[in-house]
Structure 1
Amino acid sequence: MASEDFKTVVKRVNLVQQRRLRMGLAGLLAAVGIGVYVLGYQQGFDDRVPLVLDEAGLKGTISKLETRLAVAAETLNRFRAELADSERQVDELEKELVFYRDIMSSSEDVSAVKLRPPNLSWDPERRSFEYRVVVQRLAPGTQFYRGRLMVQILDSEGKAIEALSSTPRHDLSFKYFQRISGTIELAETVIPASVRFDIELSAPRKRSYEQTFDWSTSIVYSTQ
């Protein structure tokens, strides 16, 4: 058997150079990583740019929405006001219906009349009392009612207070109802306690009616 010669190759490794190579490779990888991060951040920033640039459009959209809300609120308020007005009209119609029902209702006394709740107001500064009343019939038919209505203001003892002008007297002449209004001026020293309405009918029959309203509960105070 032939003999073979083996050669041993000894390779010297430069440790310093190896370290430098590794450090360079690590630095290169770090630089690549930083570059990728910076590029990604820049791309994300670029994606946010349209939102920043569209800030004016966003404000415009918000302004439009606020305008729509204001218009909707105004429409709702107008609708509520119209509804309240409709309710008042319905209430007035119901009162008118009761009013005419009373007129057309049957009554044994053809001369029966009624004084509806009056509107009474008092101006303490001018010492002026204003009244608005309605006298209506309570019996069906076509006969006329004639007579006189007198308005008096009473003190706490039930005595008539003398007005600065003459005592109001109104002639009555109606078939179904009659509206009456007037003003009474009082002196500074008097203290009113109630208001009395006296009705004297002469047709279709002679009748007398009297109705008194308490000053503290029936009078509305007003200042002109």
Structure 2
Amino acid sequence: MVSLKVVETKSGFWYFGWFLLLLLCFVAVAFLGWQWGVVNKGYFETEIAQLQQNNQELKQQVAELSANSLNLDSREKIAQASVQQVSDDMGELQQKNNLLEKELTFYRSIMAPELDQAGLTIESLELSPVSPQEFDVVITLTQVKKQDWYLKGQLKADIEGEIDGKISKISLQSVVQEENWSNDFSFRYFQKMRARVLLPEGFTPSLIKLMAVTTDKKQKTEREFPWKLTENL
């Protein structure tokens, strides 16, 4: 016995209907998307404009902060420079004050009659380096005010030290650079005897011995100083 199977066939109108339906759905979705874009276009444009404005404001704030930072840095540098200048000025004034005090003490020692010091005196020795073996030397001789006559005489100075590990002694006059330098003195209250000396290569000075004698041999004084450099002459 033969069974029969019925096959349902769809017409072209059925397929065309489904195609038309899908096309209408696509058009509807596209239209809704377009409408959504139109409705929200102004919103996004406003948001973009606001973000651009915020970005511009932030850039301006960064620029202002950078300028303020530079100003603060400049002010700090100026303040530091001012503090350093004031410190330098104070140091210079203090140095000048110390020199004035030293000069005042020096003149008081000459002019004050109540002091026990009398007659010819070797007051001080000052040494200032010019080069490793070259020095400026200042020797100050004094007499107090109660003896106000002129003193005349000669100064003898010997520099002691070592050369090649051996103790050696050099006459100051033999190493003085000035051709017309004289060890003669003549003063009423004080005299500073200045000389520039050039020590032999390899000679290391340790002390200087001084002796001043008046021409009439009535006054004689001796004093020795360590070879110690001073800041100011």
d(CA) in 2 for partners of 1:170 and 1:136?
A: 15
Kept in 2: contact 1:151–1:169 (CA 8 A): no
Picking from 218, 229, 232, the partner of 1:206 is 218
Measured after TM superposition, the shift of residue 183 of structure 1 is 3.2
d(CA) in 2 for partners of 1:90 and 1:153?
A: 32
What is the correspondence of 1:18-97 to structure 2 with a 5 Å cutoff? Answer: 45=51, 46-47=53-54, 49-97=56-104
Q: 1:178 to 1:75 in 2, by over 3 A?
A: same
RMSD in angstroms over aligned alpha carbons? Answer: 3.9
The one-letter amino acid paired with 1:56 is A
Residue 51 of structure 1: SS of its match in structure 2? helix
Kept in 2: contact 1:154–1:161 (CA 8 A): yes
Q: Tell me the TM-score normalized by structure 1.
A: 0.63
Measured after TM superposition, the shift of residue 49 of structure 1 is 3.8
The one-letter amino acid paired with 1:149 is L
In structure 1, the residue matched to 2:160 is 154
In structure 2, the residue matched to 1:140 is 146
The one-letter amino acid paired with 1:209 is T
Q: 1:163 to 1:64 in 2, by over 3 A?
A: closer
Q: 1:44 to 1:137 in 2, by over 3 A?
A: farther
The one-letter amino acid paired with 2:119 is S
The one-letter amino acid paired with 2:154 is R
Measured after TM superposition, the shift of residue 211 of structure 1 is 1.1
In structure 2, the residue matched to 1:118 is 126
**Count of residues in correspondence between the two structures:** 187
In structure 2, the residue matched to 1:170 is 183
Measured after TM superposition, the shift of residue 83 of structure 1 is 0.8
Q: 1:67 to 1:142 in 2, by over 3 A?
A: same
Measured after TM superposition, the shift of residue 95 of structure 1 is 0.6
The one-letter amino acid paired with 1:50 is E
Q: 1:121 to 1:210 in 2, by over 3 A?
A: farther
Q: Which moved more, 1:183-192 or 1:102-111?
A: 183-192
| 1:82-112 deviation digits (Å, cap 9, x = unpaired) | 1111111111111111111101122567524
Kept in 2: contact 1:164–1:186 (CA 8 A): no
| 1:24-44 deviation digits (Å, cap 9, x = unpaired) | xxxxxxx9xxx8x98997697
Kept in 1: contact 2:128–2:135 (CA 8 A): yes
The one-letter amino acid paired with 1:89 is K
Q: 1:69 to 1:213 in 2, by over 3 A?
A: same
